[in-house]
Amino acid sequence: MSQPIGNIYIVVAPSGAGKTSLVAALLQAEPSVELSVSYSTRPARKGEIDGKHYHFVDRAVFDAMVARGDFLEHAEVYGNCYGTSAPWIRSRLEVGQDILLEIDWQGAEQVRKVFPGAVGIFIAPPSIEELERRLRGRDTDTEDVILRRLASARAEIDKIAEYDYIVVNDDFERARQDLISIVRARRLRSEVQCRRLAEMFRYMGSAGAQ
Ligand code: GDP
Ligand code: ADP
Ligand code: 5GP
């Protein structure tokens, strides 16, 4: 794959930190960023729509996709399998589309090996106690699932320095603005602007003055 023009954003967070809510808010503010819809063997939660939140597949289908090399990355997370579609990513990058992956830390490591320029963003909860409150408040998971997710959270937070950006999701609006700022700042880099606005700068500079 040639070097993509669009940015790849990888958003990682301990379960319950607010990743899904914050990403939804970001995509609403920045509709030009497109979300990668993962494949998952996890059963759909109430309200989740196949093809929108995940492509829900059974283990046999997932394993066949792994064997065919259909995933850019895949990992087992809290007992279920999750994977990112390689053909989808390829098709979006080819047209210069900015894309966002909401994946776990294992997937993030795999993607950054393939795309070292991918932007890693970690969403941290303000505290473990608050994380537990949110997981319980969400009311989507059984007790043993909640305990498993809380245990993983500590290990994930230990790897926080590997990310380019860290957003603490204490006040939601503040965190939403932080996330939007990251995307906007990436687009303002001179490397990006020189390419996007090449003609305008040529005209304003010496070539335009003749
Ligand atoms: P929630 O994000 O805690 O609400 O729970 P989910 O069931 O939506 O996600 C479970 C875990 O799988 C999270 O750590 C996600 O980041 C991760 N995940 C989701 N999609 C992908 C993917 O395509 N690849 C990888 N590697 N992980 C993913
Ligand atoms: P994740 O995708 O990281 O598992 P969710 O987006 O599902 O997290 O958020 C977990 C729960 O916490 C949800 O019920 C959500 O409404 C709530 N939540 C998210 N951000 C905040 C915040 N800043 N303050 C209070 N509650 C929040
Ligand atoms: P949930 O089951 O709560 O939707 O997600 C649990 C975790 O799996 C989250 O941390 C989520 O980011 C991660 N996850 C979702 N999709 C993928 C994926 O395609 N690949 C990887 N590696 N993790 C994923």
CA distance 82 to 106: 11
Nearest to 131 by CA among 84, 95, 170, 183: 170
Structural domain includes residue 32 = yes
Total number of domains in the chain: 1
Q: How far apart are the first and last CA of the chain?
A: 40
Question: What b/e readout covers 146-173, taking b as 16+ CB neighbours within 10 angstroms?
Answer: bebbbebbeebbeeeeebebebebeeee
| Best residue among 9, 10, 22, 40 to mutate for probing ligand 3, ranked by most atoms within 8 Å of CB | 40
Whole-angstrom CA distances from 97 to 8, 105, 115, 164 are 9, 23, 15, 20
Structural domain includes residue 21 = yes
Question: Does the annotation list 41 as a binding residue?
Answer: no
Q: What is the ipTM of this complex?
A: 0.79
Proximal ligand: closest to the CA of 19:
2
The pLDDT tens digits of the residues spanning 8-46 come to 999 999 989 999 999 999 999 999 999 999 999 999 998
Q: Is the CB of 53 under 6 A from ligand 3?
A: no
Structural domain includes residue 46 = no
| Best residue among 99, 103, 105, 156 to mutate for probing ligand 1, ranked by most atoms within 8 Å of CB | 103
Question: Does the annotation list 17 as a binding residue?
Answer: yes
The pLDDT tens digits of the residues spanning 54-94 come to 999 999 999 999 999 999 999 999 889 999 999 999 999 88
Structural domain includes residue 51 = no
Per the CB < 8 A criterion, the answer to whether 52 and 37 are in contact is yes
| pTM listed for this prediction | 0.88
Structural domain includes residue 146 = yes
**Which atom belonging to ligand 3 lies closest to the Cα atom of 149?**
6
